[in-house]
Amino acid sequence: MATTADTPEPAVSALCRRIRELRSERDWTLEQLSRASGVSRSMLSQIERNQANPTLAVALRIAQAFGLTIGELMGEAATGSTLEVIRAADNRHNYRSDETCSIRTLSPLHLEKDVEFYEVRLAPRGTLDSAAHFRGTREFLTVTRGKVRVRSGNDASELETGDSVNYPADVPHSIENTGRGEAVLFLVVIYR
């Protein structure tokens, strides 16, 4: 039986369903997936509703946003090693990079969004300002080089190399480099 535009192929329907499920598992909005993949919000909405058949290039960008291969996006079991290596040169893991702040994701991009692990580098006087995350979210920070001031709500603390702090991240919070050189931090975000 021939497939028409009104009768999508089973593989396309499965792909559309899988994208919707992955986004839901990660608690991402369509806008968040759009930013991560470079695919327009309206196109993603059409794909999830099985009203558009994504091209290979679009499917690849969506898969990469989730940290998956095309085969994994289609639901095929991953084969090979159980080790997941994140290479320093892999630009897909650069979350932010500008003159004052760079953030690199150290946790696999396809993990459930309950724990995230980052390397943060702040130039002198650089600041990472964050809006409140979901209720119950906490951040754990370790300074591996430099000096920073951490603020969470109305509380603040100065930290130096080797110091660690954990704090509520469900309120506005910030990390400011107060030293003369680059500050390097490891940041773990835990969502409840």
What's the pLDDT tens digit per position in 11-60?
A: 778 888 889 888 988 889 999 999 999 999 999 999 999 898 888 888 88
| pLDDT for res 6 | 45
Residue owning tokens 């704090």: 167
Query: What is the per-residue pLDDT across 72-129, written as a single tens digit (0 to 9) for each?
Result: 887 653 444 567 777 787 777 787 888 999 998 888 766 656 788 999 999 999 999 9
| pLDDT for res 68 | 85
| Crossing angle for the helix pair 30-37 and 41-48, to the nearest 10 degrees | 110
Geometric angle at alpha carbon 77, from 74 and 82, rounded to 5°: 130
* CATH numbers and ranges of domains, the chain: 10-73 (1.10.260.40), 91-190 (2.60.120.10)
| pLDDT for res 110 | 61
Burial environment of residue 63 by CB neighbours within 10 A (0 to 12, 13 to 18, 19 or more):
buried
| pLDDT for res 97 | 83
| pLDDT for res 7 | 42
| pLDDT for res 77 | 38
Query: What is the per-residue pLDDT across 129-163, written as a single tens digit (0 to 9) for each?
Result: 999 998 999 999 999 999 999 999 999 999 999 99
Q: What is the pTM of this model?
A: 0.58
Greater confidence (94 vs 173) lies with: 173
Greater confidence (172 vs 114) lies with: 172
| pLDDT for res 159 | 98
